């Protein structure tokens, strides 16, 4: 706060800025990331550069992205003595469905700099971009090995939810189809400045390559779960028939349901992630077979 007063800056609510002011939590997050000299870290939301410097000590390289020009200036001063930290003053997202190509290129450059480097995303994420950023990173072909981030508790619960729970939806189905999602710490508003109106959490996401490989087409699967959960309480058969009415007859949809042992009357919110993957694979092969 004193630093902000000194420079005449104010946190920007429009950017979801809530700064983590508890040093113990910062240390906890970095410890959970288990950083080594082989790691390239992607941080989004450099803030004043406090966590950035912690990670710069342990990691091979840190690529830190900050949209706010004022915060970028503070972080640049804080990290001036580190030659293994790259600060980028830009939006981390090109669109809500795509990470900025410049960020991807810089991360790839650092991964290629030395053999055996691994990617981890570690950050106190701005609340307003947490969902697209995590979803889009998982969607890339970057060799990420761990995500340890602070996000809203409600979002963390959505990511870790299961069938029959009200928070279960397309986000859980997308992430859990290819990764393990675990809430490792819940946090009150008091450890942030300014204080948010909601509780937060540290979530750890670890890739599960064997599960990911079971998805025939990840682009198709992501679109599939997004659309079926828009009608989560309607019967799946009618929803899916409507989704693909221009591509295939209802009889083909029925064959896919039958092949996967899924009753037509079931709802999306009742299906396990593995069932959604299997049904998606059947539909993809029936509707858009690989040439």
- CATH code for the domain in which residue 117 is found: 3.40.50.150
Residues 131 and 21 in one domain: yes
Residue 18 structural domain = 2-212
Residues 168 and 73 in one domain: yes
Could you say which of 212, 232, 247 is where a domain stops? 212
- 208 HSE (CA, 13 A, CB side): 14
Q: What is the pLDDT of residue 288?
A: 80
Residues 118 and 257 in one domain: no
Q: What is the pLDDT of residue 20?
A: 87
Count of domains for the chain: 2
Residues 208 and 222 in one domain: no
Q: What is the pLDDT of residue 5?
A: 46
User: What six digits make up the tokens of 11?
Assistant: 């946190």
pLDDT in tens, 20-58: 889 999 999 999 999 999 999 999 999 999 999 999 999
Query: Which portions of the chain are predicted below pLDDT 50?
Result: 1-2, 5
> Residue 82: how many CB atoms within 10 A of its CB?
17
pLDDT in tens, 75-89: 999 999 999 999 999
Residues 93 and 189 in one domain: yes
Could you say which of 212, 239, 256 is where a domain stops? 212
Residues 208 and 272 in one domain: no
CB 104 within 8 A of CB 85: no
Residues 13 and 157 in one domain: yes
CB 150 within 8 A of CB 20: yes
How far is 264 from 261, CA to CA, in rounded Å?
9
8 phi-psi bin (left φ>0, alpha ψ -120 to 50, beta other): left
Residues 157 and 247 in one domain: no
Q: What is the pLDDT of residue 272?
A: 97
Residues 67 and 131 in one domain: yes
Residues 136 and 241 in one domain: no
Q: What is the pLDDT of residue 201?
A: 97
Residues 144 and 60 in one domain: yes
Residues 135 and 241 in one domain: no
- 86 HSE (CA, 13 A, CB side): 18
How far is 44 from 280, CA to CA, in rounded Å?
32
CB 128 within 8 A of CB 16: yes
CATH number of the domain to which 232 belongs: 1.10.8.100
Handedness of CA 262, 265, 179, 121 (dihedral sign): positive
Could you say which of 196, 212, 228 is where a domain stops? 212
């Amino acid at each position: 706060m004193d630093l902000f007063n000194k420079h005449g800056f104010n946190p920007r609510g429009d950017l979801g800025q809530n700064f983590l002011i508890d040093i113990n939590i910062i240390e906890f997050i970095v410890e959970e990331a288990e950083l080594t000299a082989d790691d390239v870290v992607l941080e989004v939301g450099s803030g004043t550069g406090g966590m950035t410097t912690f990670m710069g000590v342990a990691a091979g390289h840190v690529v830190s992205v900050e949209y706010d020009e004022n915060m970028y200036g503070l972080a640049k001063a804080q990290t001036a003595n580190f030659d293994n930290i790259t600060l980028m003053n830009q939006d981390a997202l090109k669109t809500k469905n795509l990470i900025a190509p410049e960020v991807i290129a810089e991360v790839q450059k650092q991964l290629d700099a030395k053999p055996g480097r691994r990617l981890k995303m570690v950050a106190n994420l701005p609340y307003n971009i947490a969902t697209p950023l995590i979803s889009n990173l998982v969607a890339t072909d970057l060799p990420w090995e761990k995500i340890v981030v602070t996000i809203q508790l409600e979002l963390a619960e959505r990511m870790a939810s299961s069938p029959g729970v009200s928070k279960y939806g397309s986000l859980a189905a997308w992430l859990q189809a290819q990764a393990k999602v675990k809430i490792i710490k819940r946090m009150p508003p008091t450890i942030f400045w300014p204080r948010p109106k909601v509780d937060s959490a540290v979530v750890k996401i670890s890739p599960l390559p064997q599960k990911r490989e079971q998805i025939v087409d990840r682009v198709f699967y992501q679109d599939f779960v997004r659309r079926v959960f828009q009608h989560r309480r309607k019967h799946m058969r009618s929803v899916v028939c409507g989704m693909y009415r221009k591509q295939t007859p209802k009889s083909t949809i029925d064959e896919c349901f039958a092949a996967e042992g899924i009753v037509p009357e079931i709802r999306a919110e009742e299906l396990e992630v593995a069932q959604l993957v299997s049904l998606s694979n059947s539909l993809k092969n029936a509707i858009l077979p690989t040439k």
